[in-house]
Amino acid sequence: MKETTFTCAYCNEDFPISQYQDVSGSPVCPQCLEEETSVCSVCGDRIWNYDNAGTCTTPLCQRCYDRYYTTCSRCGAVIPFENVRYAACDEDEDFPLCEDCFTHTAHKPYSIQDYYFKPCPIFYGDGPRFFGVELEIDGAGESDRNARELLETANGQGQDRLYCKHDGSLSDGFELVTHPMTLEYHENQMPWAEILAQAVDMGYTSHQAGTCGLHVHVSRRAFGKTVTEQEAAIARVLYFFEKNWEELLRFSRRTQRQLDQWAARYGYKEQPREILEHAKKGYHGGRYTCVNLQPSETIEFRIFRGTLKYNTLIAALQLVNRVCDAAIYLSDDELKAMSWSAFAAGCTQPELVQYLKERRLYVNEPVVTEEEV
């Protein structure tokens, strides 16, 4: 007599009913139970890893996290309520701190905000396609004086275009974050050349530090008026990355190992929508994926290594803009048929063309390059 089987809700494979496991009412095979689920360290309930509100070492269901834990507003660590500390100036106790960050905050630089600082966005230029830049710099200190001078350069004449944040992944630096801006504003009005040159003069590096990334947020509204339109275009963004992974790896200036850690790929599938559905199921990379879909208002391109070279920064923004164009204006079939050479041939901005030539991604002709910083 043939043994009864069941279909695993995660891998969609069939297994003997004797191997049946249950997670939140869904049938799961033993391998997926081991690899894709955890046990809440408080109540003992089995949860999917993508629903883990705690950490790898202290997994938590959402109910137990809400009841017994919170998150450090500076470093993101999950901490029990009984261990929470607050800065003396935080009279309303809006910013919980772990013990280490509480100690650090007692001497916190005024010009460098906490990691979870997120001001109300100020939009520069005519949208709806806005780009927010996060650029990590390292090696010359998490210095209030340096941050203040960079802010003065960026925010002169009463503007509020840039702010600085603590980043625990950096050895001796901080993160520069812009408010949302159009590509034209980044190119023509944001004083990037002066900011980057000033950071170099202070002794900072980004590419050479080995610890730094360049992340670009793009507003979801740029991809369509409705959620359906947005998701169709975002699916094509993911497909473009999978189809052209080797070229984008070279463009990024990162190693495959670095990308696996900080900006992993989702995996190639035949249709753009299939990649998006795979990502939405709770891909284990979380926000550490090449295109992070977790923010509610943006998608985040995380593939690029940091840089203090002006042409490279602008070229990265221009590449993201070109990928958005392809995803929005081409159909699935048109995008699938487009080769990298055809895509590169459509790149006309001088900064992007120069960079593509430097990386041997455009035309194999001699080009003078400057060292990355």
Q: Which of 63-77, 222-236, 321-335 has the lowest mean pLDDT?
A: 63-77
**Residue 221 belongs to some domain of the structure:** yes
Q: Please report the pLDDT score of residue 283 as a whole number.
A: 58
Q: Which of 202, 213, 126 is nearest to 176 (CA)?
A: 213
Same domain assignment for residues 308 and 175: yes
Q: Who has greater pLDDT, 10 or 59?
A: 59
Q: Please report the pLDDT score of residue 324 as a whole number.
A: 98
Q: Please report the pLDDT score of residue 5 as a whole number.
A: 87
Same domain assignment for residues 51 and 104: no
Does 350 sit behind a cis peptide bond, omega within 30 degrees of 0 on the bond before it? no
Give the domain range for residue 21: 5-59
Same domain assignment for residues 96 and 223: no
Q: Please report the pLDDT score of residue 244 as a whole number.
A: 97
**Residue 69 belongs to some domain of the structure:** no
Burial label for 89, CB within 10 Å (0-12, 13-18, 19+), is: exposed
180 CB neighbour count, 10 Å cutoff: 21
Q: Please report the pLDDT score of residue 43 as a whole number.
A: 94
Q: Please report the pLDDT score of residue 224 as a whole number.
A: 96
**Residue 73 belongs to some domain of the structure:** no
* Residue 89 binned pLDDT confidence (cut-offs 50, 70, 90): low
Mean pLDDT for all residues in the chain: 91
Mean pLDDT of 323-333: 97
Q: Which of 84-88, 292-296, 320-324, 348-352 has the lowest mean pLDDT?
A: 84-88
Q: Please report the pLDDT score of residue 321 as a whole number.
A: 98
Same domain assignment for residues 53 and 83: no
Same domain assignment for residues 162 and 245: yes
**Residue 368 belongs to some domain of the structure:** no
**Residue 269 belongs to some domain of the structure:** yes
Q: Who has greater pLDDT, 306 or 278?
A: 306
* Residue 119 binned pLDDT confidence (cut-offs 50, 70, 90): confident
Which of 2-11, 41-50, 336-345: highest mean pLDDT? 336-345
**Share above pLDDT 90 across residues of the chain, in percent, rounded to a whole number:** 63
Query: What is the tally of structural domains in the chain?
Result: 3
Q: Who has greater pLDDT, 337 or 267?
A: 337
Same domain assignment for residues 151 and 85: no
Q: Please report the pLDDT score of residue 56 as a whole number.
A: 85
Mean pLDDT of 27-33: 90
* Residue 367 binned pLDDT confidence (cut-offs 50, 70, 90): low
**Residue 121 belongs to some domain of the structure:** no
Same domain assignment for residues 40 and 154: no
Cα(106)–Cα(290) distance, integer angstroms: 36
**Residue 211 belongs to some domain of the structure:** yes
Same domain assignment for residues 26 and 101: no
Mean pLDDT of 319-337: 97
Same domain assignment for residues 43 and 154: no
Q: Which of 40-49, 71-80, 96-105 has the lowest mean pLDDT?
A: 96-105
Q: Please report the pLDDT score of residue 300 as a whole number.
A: 97
Q: Please report the pLDDT score of residue 365 as a whole number.
A: 58
Q: Please report the pLDDT score of residue 372 as a whole number.
A: 87
Same domain assignment for residues 137 and 90: no
Same domain assignment for residues 214 and 291: yes
Dihedral, 199, 200, 202, 208 alpha carbons, nearest 10: 100
**Residue 11 belongs to some domain of the structure:** yes
Those residues with Cβ within 8 angstroms of residue 18's Cβ, 6 or more apart along the chain or in another chain: 3
Same domain assignment for residues 348 and 269: yes
